[in-house]
Amino acid sequence: MNARNDKLKVLWAATFFALLCSCTTVPVHPPLENVLAYVVPEDEQLLSRHAPVFVIDNFKEKYNRIGTPSAKITEDSEELVYVDPAKATVYTRVDRFETSKDAYTNLVYRIHFQKVPGGFIPFYLGKGRNTGLIVLVTLNSRNEPVLYTLVHTCGCYLAFVPTSYLPADRFPDYWENGRQSVYGESLPGLLDYEDLSPDGQKTIVLVREGSHRVMDIWFSDADSLQKYHTDAMEMLPLGSLEMLLLESDRTTSFYETCGPREGYVKGSEKIRERLLMSWWALDWRVGEDKKLGKDKNDGILFYTSLKPWAREESDLRDFVTFLRYWKWKL
């Protein structure tokens, strides 16, 4: 019996060690035939030049494709807001802010998917419709990318990936440049440009199937895109989400405009997260996708910390305070 217990202990220890290592190693990338790369048309504008290339795993499933938020009137004369996977759109905005150390530009890129699917194997906590992902690229005064901020449009799964253009004294004191574990995904702790020109490189964002989590991000030469199947992605202003064409002479917003869900994406209720998380996160609408306002006077609170006492400080709309809360010293 003791020998059997010893074997079980060794097995558990080996399993734990394997799980621990898996959080800090480069994730296994899907085969090229399973992925689709979404790219925007190239021009000299900052938004085009720094737009990420979104590489989507298992693109043959419609719910994994980047779509276009749309609206229609159903047969029951009800308004339906949905994400159409037949066409890809990224919604963008340029924000600027200053600190005592530099003047910065934030490039906001927002994409949406038809849904995170249900089922129990695999079990997706974020099951729901009209889900989305935001990639925020922070440029310094020389228009060099210094920091990537990745977050779902519910404020969940926040991740930071700095670049070698960011001076070492502006990192959090705890930061390490190796792989980092972000809620089970392994992301780089630093993107190093090395010999790549910021004008000639592309930022590749690999998106996991189903959950639409970012599973890796890296810099690559533009020529490397030739190995992917690619699809064009239209780029529209972020404000376009508040003017979806409903009928020939009518528009509607992607977000609720009144009532208790004002500012939340229509149809984005997350029942699983409500049942399992709302009672300890003290938020009945935890996990629901929402508008990212330009500042604190625009839209609803976009908190990125589940600590109820840290919601104002972690609000992505106030980027300087948000950075300070997460210990970045830009």
Do residues 273 and 125 make contact, with C-beta atoms less than 8 angstroms apart? yes
Long-range contacts formed by 242-247: CB under 8 A, 24+ apart = 244/69, 244/70, 244/71, 244/81, 245/70, 245/71, 246/71, 246/72, 246/73, 246/79, 247/73
The answer to whether 163 touches 146, Cβ cutoff 8 Å, is yes
Strand order in the sheet with 35-39: 214-221, 201-207, 53-57, 35-39, 229-232
Q: Are 191 and 161 in contact (CB under 8 A)?
A: yes
Between CA 79 and CA 73 the distance in angstroms is 5
Are the beta carbons of 85 and 38 closer than 8 angstroms?
no
**Would you state the structure tokens that stand for residue 318, as one six-digit string?**
């106030």
Determine the Cα–Cα distance for residues 252 and 71; give it in Å rounded to an integer. 7
Return d(Cα 295, Cα 303) in angstroms, integer: 13
Cα end-to-end distance, the chain, whole Å = 58
Which runs of consecutive H residues, i.e. helices, occur in 193-284?
A: 271-281
In order along its 330 residues, the chain shows pLDDT tens digits of 454 444 334 334 433 333 444 446 788 999 999 999 999 988 878 999 999 999 999 999 999 999 999 999 887 778 899 999 999 999 999 999 999 999 999 999 999 999 999 988 889 999 999 999 999 999 999 999 999 999 999 999 999 999 999 999 999 999 999 999 999 999 999 999 876 665 568 999 999 999 999 999 999 887 788 899 999 999 999 999 999 998 778 899 999 999 999 999 999 999 999 999 999 999 999 999 999 999 999 999 999 999 999 999 999 999 999 999 999 999
- CA 255 – CA 112 distance, rounded (Å): 13
- φ, ψ dihedrals at 317, nearest 5°: -70, -30
Closest CA to 78 of 252, 305, 199: 252
Residues 81, 107, 283, 301, CA torsion sign: negative
Q: Cβ(169)–Cβ(188) under 8 Å?
A: no
DSSP 41: P
Around 222, how many Cα atoms within 13 Å sit in the side-chain half-sphere? 12
